[in-house]
Amino acid sequence: MQNIPLEAANFIDLNYMNVLYLFIVGFIGGLVSGFIGSGGAFVLTPAMMSLGVPGLVAVASNMCHKFPKALVGAIKRAKYGQVDVKLGIIFGIFAEAGVFYGAHIQEKIKAAFGDAGSNLYVSVAFVVVLAIVGGLVLRDAVKTYRSGNADAEEQVSALAKRVQSVNIPGTMVYFKSLRARVSLLFIIPLGFATGMLAATIAVGGFIGVPSMIYVLGAPSLMGSATELVVAFVMGLGGSFKYALHGLVDIRLAGIILAGSLFGIQLGAIGTTYVKPFMIKLVMGIIMVIVLFSRALMVPVYLSQLGLIQTLNDTSVTILKSTSFSVMAFALLTGAFIVLRAMWQGHKAERETSEHKIMETA
């Protein structure tokens, strides 16, 4: 953060087109976050940077929009009984530690290898984590869909059963979402990894939600809703850290928040209309598409570091714009699936109630 005063002085002038663009991206990001608990933020930082916002200001303003959005989403989903506040806060505290450690690693890498090294680290983290976790989540969602048991109550994974069966005296805490006591010693590394990922790729939920579902044994709806509490805790601490350095552009955070609060309410409502496997499906699809987006950027950074043959400017520009387009496509695909699932759920509910009225008449 050595260029902080310079970055803070470079707050951009906003015109109507910029405001509209950020509002729409915020809305779509909020819609996806309200539904799967995270995932909307990863496109906002590049979106702001594409308008000329300096990197650190974009990250700080994104963070400052994230925690109030997560708060509103968590309150909304708590009304539907989907939030485990205790798990969210405990998970969030360890995630916060992970955020600070992750940011520290980022600074070290940047100091040692420069911007290209830091970007390469972020892209490789994206590709590796999303390939493993995204692949597993998507596979599970498709398996559930094909099994014809999409309506049945979710089964707790064998790993989660094993985790819940371990009793370590003095560390056991009961969580309502798990309907079981789990040792804090399992939650610490999961929370920490979530925070580290959040500091690296801006979306900790890509580890947080799957770990709550597959490692701890939370149902998809509760895992994704509880992630909003984690995002609130992480976002609040992170925003304060950036605000201490004067990096938050409240105008940018406010505009994105204006759109994302519409989106997050809608996404949260959407969770009440869909079958639980839809959460996994949307998350898995977004993760796998984003994986390709970041993989496209790996040759650019390898070339900048001199590890492969230098790419010409045209190739770099094409790869960068394709990567951003694929990322935006991931978010739009997620939003489309959420809206379509909501529409179908609404239609099915309307048909059921019409059928009941006919029967009583």
Task: Note the residues at the interface with another protein (CB under 8 A).
Answer: 8, 11, 64-65, 67-69, 71-72, 75-76, 79-81, 156, 161, 164-165, 167, 176, 179-180, 236, 239-240, 243-251, 253-254, 257-258, 261-262, 264-266, 269, 272-273, 345-346, 349-350, 353-354
Count of Cβ atoms closer than 10 Å to residue 252 Cβ:
27
- For another protein, which is the closer residue by CB, 167 or 321? 167
Closest contact distance (angstroms) between CB of 173 and another protein is 15
- For another protein, which is the closer residue by CB, 321 or 352? 352
Closest contact distance (angstroms) between CB of 336 and another protein is 17
Q: Which residues contact 343 (CB under 8 A, 6 or more apart)?
A: none
Closest contact distance (angstroms) between CB of 264 and another protein is 8
Strands 180-183 and 172-175: antiparallel
SS3 of 71, please?
Answer: helix
Q: Which residues contact 119 (CB under 8 A, 6 or more apart)?
A: 297, 301, 304
Give kind and range of the element (H or E) at residue 49.
helix 44-49
Q: What is the DSSP string of 22-48?
A: HHHHHHHHHHHHHHHSS-SGGGHHHHH
Closest contact distance (angstroms) between CB of 163 and another protein is 12
- For another protein, which is the closer residue by CB, 257 or 290? 257
- For another protein, which is the closer residue by CB, 274 or 298? 274
- For another protein, which is the closer residue by CB, 134 or 238? 238
Closest contact distance (angstroms) between CB of 64 and another protein is 5
Closest contact distance (angstroms) between CB of 9 and another protein is 8
Q: What is the DSSP string of 234-298?
A: HHHHHHHHHHHTT---HHHHHHHHHHHHHHHHHHHHHTTTS-THHHHHHHHHHHHHHHHHHHHHH
Closest contact distance (angstroms) between CB of 250 and another protein is 5
- For another protein, which is the closer residue by CB, 149 or 322? 149
- For another protein, which is the closer residue by CB, 81 or 114? 81
Q: Are 204 and 41 in contact (CB under 8 A)?
A: no
